[in-house]
């Protein structure tokens, strides 16, 4: 199980889970460029995002700056 899936298992409300995963995917798309062909991620896209989370957390980044740039364009 990847970090995103592991995080989401703490929530039972499907709407909440959907909103959180959409936000994580949007953030990763902002950092690395769009990873999905359509508006919604497919089952095939999910492993890509799990790998990107691992990549992101291993990089030497200014995490607060990344969040600020994402949240306040």
Answer yes or no: pTM beyond 0.75.
Answer: yes
Q: Concatenated DSSP letters for 35-71?
A: --SSSS--TTTHHHHHHHHHHHHHS---HHHHHHHHH
Model confidence pLDDT, tens digit, residues 16-72: 999 999 999 999 999 999 999 888 899 999 999 999 999 999 999 999 999 999 999
Q: Concatenated DSSP letters for 6-36?
A: HHHTT---HHHHHHHHHHHHHHHHHHH----
Q: How confident is the model at residue 73 (pLDDT cuts 50, 70, 90)?
A: confident
Largest CA distance in the chain: 34
Token pair belonging to 28: 């990763």
């Amino acid at each position: 199980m990847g970090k995103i899936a592991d995080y989401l298992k703490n929530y039972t409300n499907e709407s909440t889970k959907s909103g959180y995963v959409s936000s994580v995917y949007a953030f990763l798309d902002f950092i690395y460029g769009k990873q999905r062909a359509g508006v919604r991620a497919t089952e095939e896209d999910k492993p890509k995002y799990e790998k990107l989370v691992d990549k992101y957390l291993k990089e030497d980044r200014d995490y607060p700056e990344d969040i600020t740039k994402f949240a306040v364009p």
